[in-house]
Chain A
Amino acid sequence: MAVKVLIPTPLRPFVGKRNSVELKAGTVGEALGSLTKEFADLRRHLYTEDGRIRSFVNVYLNDEDIRYLDKENTPIKDGDTISIVPSIAGGAGN
């Protein structure tokens, strides 16, 4: 299934500054796996060392948080959009 992954500003440096990536996948997990395989630098920002999505990053399929769908097993339909939404705080160095 064709899906568009929207890349938030803090993560754009790791995908060659693009704001979205189009790929084909059956589930959200497959899409993110494909994405981090193509852009290896992105992986540590999305996943912990033991392969879980980091808790300060939320992943949405269209406008629904995947935590309340089927998490990474959430199936994708043609034309869906995945949004990666990291927590941001602006301003000061952290």
Chain B
Amino acid sequence: MSTQAKVVEGPHLSREEVLRYSRHLIMPEVGMDGQLKLKQARVLMIGVGGLGAPLGLYLAAAGVGHLGLVDFDVVDFTNLQRQVTFSTSDVGRPKLDAAKERLAGLNPFIDIANYETRLTSSNALELFRGYDLVVDGTDNFPTRYLVNDACVLTGKHNVYGSIFRFEGQVSIFGFPDGPCYRCLYPEPPPPGLVPSCAEGGVLGVLPGIVGALQAIEAIKLILGTGDPLIGRLLLFDALAMRFRELKLKKNPDCPMCGTHRTITKLIDYEEFCGIRGEEAAAPATNVPEMTPLELKQRLDRGDDLFVLDVREPHEFQICNLNGYLLPLGDLPRRANELDSSREIVAHCRSGKRSAEAVEFLRKAGFRKVWNLKGGILAWSDEVDPSMPKY
């Protein structure tokens, strides 16, 4: 009589997977049950940049069976200071291609689905419905509100992480009894008010810590173990090397998740955040401008132009046009150092801060002020390619 083959039904681990995950399997907190939960989990990662790098690597390593990656960006050199899923040879490639390759190489037993698209109000709901859990690794306010709202509307949990320079925040939103992102921040800051532009910089390793914390929380939610950060805001200060925790309450008046909800569908998030048109908002001012070529021509001609550099001292050290350094933040107090009878050309790195400086000086009565269009970056492109870009 033949022995009936044992039919394995449902999810199971192959011998190779058992070997791979052995360090999880021997822990009671994970075990075979937990590892199978990880294998069946469907996690959607919004963003595969600074936060997405450690997040993707650790979720893949842990054996999360289905990972969805959403990003539309291309790898560039400035990413390599912190986006550790990528190699130098990936510069110029779509981030999703490079990320999928790296994660699949780390763990070929998981499924990775790429969604090379900008997340918008027209695709978010359908995308989220296919997953159990969303991890927010984005880098701008409109998308954060979009992710939040789409999670609440589709009933998905949202593992939130954000960073700025040396500080990070982590929490979990989207549980029915817990807060959502709007409970914490009902409104975004108007553009230009909170100094959080790319010129602020970030310690490369910081998203490494915060993204890994998000991975831990995602894994805990999947396993159903430990105390997740629901109703808790974890704050990390890398300079002080301190973790703190604040209580997050569900706002009963929250228009998204409160008792009397008024928001029942996704909105125009760019409009909500006060940004119109392109996401890299050009300064919405009509300050007089001078192009780098014009500036060069006039300086070569011997014109008496006063070049005002409104960047920070550490930027001046990277590269400069030999201008008069007066950081934008100091301008109100030190404007008296400037001679309003002279023609002044203000510049910064990309032209945004200097536009503000020109607007300020014009309101203060200066009549001969120009903004160097595109800043020192444009000078490098158009006049002097030996000028380093940063």
Interface of B is mostly: loop
The reply to whether the CB of B186 lies closer than 8 angstroms to some CB of chain A is yes
The reply to whether the CB of B107 lies closer than 8 angstroms to some CB of chain A is no
The reply to whether the CB of A45 lies closer than 8 angstroms to some CB of chain B is yes
Interface residues of A (CB under 8 A from B): 8-10, 13-14, 19, 41, 44-45, 54-56, 58, 60, 63-65, 67-68, 83, 85-94
The answer to whether B188 touches A56 (Cβ under 8 A) is yes
The answer to whether B184 touches A91 (Cβ under 8 A) is no
The answer to whether A91 touches B240 (Cβ under 8 A) is no
| Chain A residues with CB under 8 A of B329 | 13-14, 41
Interface residues of B (CB under 8 A from A): 49-51, 138-141, 144, 162-167, 169, 184-189, 191-200, 202, 207, 233, 235, 237, 239-240, 244-249, 251, 273, 275, 279-281, 329, 332, 352
Write 20 A-B pairs (CB below 8 A) sorted by A numbering: A9-B237, A10-B165, A10-B196, A10-B200, A41-B332, A55-B186, A67-B251, A68-B249, A83-B244, A85-B235, A87-B185, A87-B188, A88-B169, A90-B51, A90-B162, A90-B202, A91-B140, A91-B202, A93-B281, A94-B275
In the assembled complex, the Cα of A88 lies from the Cα of B246 at a distance in Å of 16
The answer to whether B235 touches A94 (Cβ under 8 A) is no
The answer to whether B199 touches A93 (Cβ under 8 A) is yes
The answer to whether A93 touches B280 (Cβ under 8 A) is yes
The answer to whether B185 touches A92 (Cβ under 8 A) is no
| Chain A residues with CB under 8 A of B144 | 89
| Chain A residues with CB under 8 A of B196 | 10, 88-90, 94
In the assembled complex, the Cα of A93 lies from the Cα of B200 at a distance in Å of 9
